[in-house]
Amino acid sequence: MSITKTLLGRRDLADIISTVEFNHTGELLATGDKGGRVVIFQREPESKNAPHSQGEYDVYSTFQSHEPEFDYLKSLEIEEKINKIKWLPQQNAAHSLLSTNDKTIKLWKITERDKRPEGYNLKDEEGKLKDLSTVTSLQVPVLKPMDLMVEVSPRRIFANGHTYHINSISVNSDCETYMSADDLRINLWHLAITDRSFNIVDIKPANMEDLTEVITASEFHPHHCNLFVYSSSKGSLRLCDMRAAALCDKHSKLFEEPEDPSNRSFFSEIISSVSDVKFSHSGRYMLTRDYLTVKVWDLNMEARPIETYQVHDYLRSKLCSLYENDCIFDKFECAWNGSDSVIMTGAYNNFFRMFDRNTKRDVTLEASRESSKPRAVLKPRRVCVGGKRRRDDISVDSLDFTKKILHTAWHPAENIIAIAATNNLYIFQDKVNSDMH
């Protein structure tokens, strides 16, 4: 698989990036960070005058979405870190997105202002009242162009819906409702109503001592507004139909792969915990990420995934150390490309991996400063596990586990990817294969 990656943008952001999301056209890219800020990038239109600009992404707007809070009842801080951002489908000139921290979801409206009225009769240019004796004729104010101003305002605040930490939000295809999931419950909200939400999944046991499983991620089906899926820490996926009952505790389908007895260890359960689940654009498949693999599931087959890809199987022998330093609990995300033919996920050492479902070939690339020149071709990387070692190989023991790529996003239509590497955001484009194949 030959990839030519061109850098369309690299930004050092003030804080650790905690989420990345393209909007539905790919024109805008939103990032959330640990400090509660949202930074939106906009793709410059490719212009004939500067053919080398290649439609780069530049900062469009920055705003503080969430502030740190203190829960006085529990005497605990509520982190302002943005866990997820989801764009609403655009319905008018304004853009809207939902951003959430552990407890509160907010709906933000982003509008542009590039004109302002001039020629008032009673006010002068600075807005001061005119001396009426100087007004001798009437004029009609006209709109004149001004420098583009992007205004962001919070339109809704959906608070107090969750006791536990929110891990996912997902906008329904009906464009009216959305869901938010925490460790034990999933709530359904109407975008216009903030004082009420409906609980649709509750896996909290009557006796908390019996708690052995939590919800790790959830998403609405892209086309069927009644279907959604949620994943658990035990590696199972549950597809639920909201038409079946008000409380969807009973799943319609349960997707679970039987455990491989030969690979069993004390860490089996931890590494089977699903950290992310994403429906394909077609709606036919689901993509899940657990600690060592990404799996593709067919909605029509519950027994096992149809495809399994090893992300970094060389870590299997190091699970004890990774448990000790807590890396085993890292939650990696996964992504589909626009045509559902390639899947992508992050790994350690600022590596990210792509798997072509058709050719069955895969590649490991690195998001680093060295490769961040604008037209740099990203060189495939290789991790060697002993045995013959090629020149640029990295050995497993030299991997930097503090450099983890947890958040990645793929443009909905083109081969453009956004990779969050700690404080840095990299945006790469595949120039050779610009269009989806």
Residues that bind another protein (CB under 8 A): 73-77, 79, 102, 163-165, 183-184, 204, 207-214, 216, 233, 266-267, 269-270, 273, 320, 323-324, 326, 329
Partners of residue 170 on adjacent β-strands: 179
| Minimum distance from residue 264 beta carbon to another protein (Å) | 10
User: Which residues fall within 8 angstroms of residue 257, CB to CB, at 6 or more apart?
Assistant: 235, 295, 303, 304, 305
> Exposed (0-12), middle (13-18) or buried (19+): which is 379, by Cβ within 10 Å?
middle
Q: Min. distance of Cβ 86 from another protein in angstroms?
A: 21
Residue 263 C-beta: closest distance to another protein, Å: 15
The CB-of-106 to another protein minimum distance in angstroms stands at 20
Residue among 81 and 312 whose Cβ is closer to another protein: 81
Residue among 172 and 273 whose Cβ is closer to another protein: 273
Least distance in Å: CB of 164 to another protein?
6
CA-nearest of 9, 48, 12 to 29 is: 9
Smaller CB separation from another protein, 147 or 326:
326
In sequence order, the β-bridge partners of residue 421 are: 424
Alpha-carbon span 434 to 437, nearest angstrom: 9
| C-alpha span between 258 and 251 (Å, rounded) | 18
Phi-psi category of 396—alpha, beta or left, where left has phi over 0 and alpha has psi -120 to 50?
alpha
| Long-range contacts, 61-64 (Cβ 8 Å, 24+) | 61/110, 61/150, 61/152, 62/37, 62/38, 63/37, 63/38, 63/108, 63/152, 64/36, 64/37, 64/38
Return the number of the residue (260 or 326) whose C-beta is nearest another protein: 326
User: Toward another protein, which CB reaches closer, 166 or 363?
Assistant: 166
Query: From CA 427, how far away is CA 424, in angstroms rounded?
Result: 10
* Token output for 432: 């050779």
Strands 285-289 and 276-279: antiparallel
Beta bridge partner(s), residue 21: 30
E-state strands within 72-214? 76-78, 84-87, 95-100, 105-118, 142-158, 168-171, 177-181, 185-190, 198-202
Contact 41, 55 (CB under 8 A): no
Nearer Cβ to another protein, position 73 or 129?
73
Closest CB to another protein among residues 162, 221? 162
Nearer to another protein (CB atom), residue 12 or residue 397? 397
Minimum distance of another protein from residue 234's CB (angstroms): 9
Kindly state the helix (H) or strand (E) to which residue 205 belongs, with its residue range: none
Q: Which is nearer to another protein, 243 or 329 (CB)?
A: 329
The least distance separating another protein from the CB of residue 344, rounded to whole angstroms, comes to 24
